[in-house]
Structure formats: structure tokens, C-alpha cells
Amino acid sequence: MLQARDLWKAYGSKAAVVGVSLDVAAGEIVGLLGPNGAGKSTTVSMLCGLTPPDRGTVTLSGLPVADEASPAKRRIGLVPQDIALYEDLSAIGNLELFGALYGVKEGLADRARAALELVGLADRAKALPQTFSGGMKRRLNIACALVHDPDVLLLDEPTVGVDPQSRNAIFDNLEALRSRGKALVYTTHYMEEAERLCDRVVIIDHGKVAASDRKEALLALLPPDKRTRTLVRDASLEDVFLHLTGRDLRD
């Protein structure tokens, strides 16, 4: 569905992205992993038409994702790394605004309510985001990218600073979207998130694709004596935490 071919981007003399290519199919979550400054956010910016590449193309079902008012941008939802919400507009007000900006006219209020329902904030529709917890804001941040029902969702580190309950709820939301046939690109620092969610993983470092494949195939890249480390642990501290504190949202 979403195709990036040979993307290049430099800021001054510093190369941020060097020849990145990737594909995301419908009903698939692709993880974009990499250390800080690896070029993940720049890649996401180019995928959604926010930053024009110096070279290379991005297409969505064959349509170019160009800068400005490209029609293909209507089919993409972006969840920025920052909590990009108007704190003085109600939750539903934020959703209706971003829906209108993507050209949603018919049934905007219904779509906004559905997006709130999906992220578990239906009962806080009229509340201001400034009264929300960090986890609730993160979920509303995702809902704002879903209100126009995009085919592709780009998530740039959407779980930074949230509690395990909210993170778990976000994962459930994303898995539900995948099952509806959406294509998702998920940028993260957390390997366990990628392991749980992603069908395929693209590892970026120094602006280049270091590896791109399914998790099992990536594990095969390790020397045999180093693979055991990934196999010995069948439970994590997070599993214990969720077991003791439950999976219910606390907002």
C-alpha cells in the first residue's frame, strides 16, 4: 500500500536519511527501530509528505505523496512524537477540527465519537485535554490521527511517558486497526514493543536501513551463540507488573 523508494534527506552538510526504501502492506504493522538521531522521524516526515525528500519517492497505492495539499495525504494519519493537541479545545473539539482539516464533512461528529470510543475516552468527550493524564493525552493524540479513517497510520514513538496500562490499551487499539486492514508504521525505541506489535521490522542507523525483515528472520542474523539470550526469558517485569496491577485503565 505505502511504498518508499530510495529516500534521501540532508540538513546542510549532515545526511539524515540515506537511500531508505520500505513497503507497508494493508493489515500490516511495520516497526521502524533505531537509536536517537538515526533518521526515524525524518523518514516518517517524508512518508507523510511533511518533509520533501531531496531524492526518492513516496507513493500510496500508486499516488504520489507530495508536499502540501496532495490528495494522497487524506489517506494518511500521523501521530506525532509530541502530544499535538489544543489543550483549550475539548477532546471532541480537537477531533472535529482535525477531521475537518482532512475534508471530512458527512458524519464528522459520529466519526469523532467513534475515534474516542476506540481509544477509551468516550466518557471524556467534552473535557479539555489539559485535565487529562499523560496516558489519556497519548490516546487522544492517536484518536486525532484516526478521525478521518486513514488507510495508513504513521506513529512516531506514540507511547513515550505512558503507564503500562495505557500502553497496553494503545497496543490493543493498534492491533484492532491492523485487523481492520490498516497499514501501520510504528517508530519506537522499545524493542519489546516492536516484538509484540510488529509483523516486520526495519532497523535504521546513521540514516540507512541496517536490516529489514520479519522478526524471526532478523534473529537469524545473530551469531548462534548470541541467540540464546533472546530465548531464555519467557516473562518480563512488565508481565509481573501487569499481573499484579491488572490491565484495566486507571484514568
Q: Which residues bind another protein (CB under 8 A)?
A: 11, 16, 41-42, 45, 48-51, 68-71, 73-74, 76, 78, 80-86, 88-89, 93, 96-98, 100-103, 105, 108, 144
Q: Which is nearer to another protein, 144 or 201 (CB)?
A: 144
Q: Cβ closer to another protein: 48 or 183?
A: 48
Q: CB of 166 within 8 A of CB of 135?
A: yes
CB nearer another protein, residue 32 or residue 144: 144
Question: Among residues 45 and 165, whose Cβ is nearest to another protein?
Answer: 45
Query: Please, what is the minimum distance in Å from the beta carbon of residue 196 to another protein?
Result: 25
Select 80 or 135, whichever has its Cβ closest to another protein: 80
> Which residue, 74 or 196, has its beta carbon nearer to another protein?
74
Q: How far is the CB of 107 from another protein (least distance, A)?
A: 13
Beta bridge partners of 8: 18, 55
DSSP string, 59-76: EETTEE--SSS-GGGGGE
**How far apart, in Å, are the Cα atoms of 58 and each of 55, 66, 145, 203?**
10, 8, 19, 19
To 10 degrees, what angle do helices 134-146 and 164-179 make? 20
Task: Work out the end-to-end distance of the chain between its first and last CA atoms, rounded to an integer number of angstroms.
Answer: 36
Least separation in angstroms between CB 116 and another protein: 17
Q: Three-class SS of residue 183?
A: strand
Q: Is 249 helix (H, G, I), strand (E, B) or coil?
A: coil
Distance in Å, CB of 221 to another protein, minimum: 30
- The CA-CA-CA angle for residues 57, 28, 55, to 5°, reads 10
Q: State in angstroms the smallest separation of the CB of 228 from another protein.
A: 40
Q: State in angstroms the smallest separation of the CB of 167 from another protein.
A: 20
- How far apart are the C-alpha atoms of 205 and 119, rounded to whole Å? 32
